Copies of this chain bind each other. A is one copy, B any other.
């Protein structure tokens, strides 16, 4: 099935912004992600509404982080995206009249609910600051160049 990679994408954007002094334009971010500026703006819309980021128009404008990275979890980001479905599979019907299907739904539904709860728990336990710290650890281990852009160059 087709995958939804918005959460992964928006986190990538946020960490890049965290490393960048001053605002980053949608165009810069799009280049870093190998995509289109409009896609970036769509991704960020929900985050802006929640006040996690801020946007300025005109010269010197762009996106800025507007929150404490230690206070925002991946769960917050996930919710800002509109809580997209996490599981690619589910029950055929809700509240079916067929007892056979009820039995199937009950068994599968339990498993699905647990898996979803697990993911949300994990998201809630991870802050953006933790992700950033992991990045800096990798950076130190690798050599220390902070020139992120070149890692995205084609």
Contacts and interface: CB of A to CB of B under 8 A. Distances in A.
Interface of A: 1-9, 11-12, 15-16, 19, 32-33, 74, 84-92, 97-108, 110-112, 114-116, 118-119, 122-123, 126, 130-132, 134-135, 138-139, 142, 148, 151-152
Q: Is the interface of A mostly helix, strand, loop or mixed?
A: helix
Copies in the assembly, this chain: 2
A114 B102 CA distance: 27
B119 A3 contact: no
A108 B148 contact: no
Contacts of A92: 5, 8-9, 12, 33
A86 B116 CA distance: 11
A135 B122 CA distance: 34
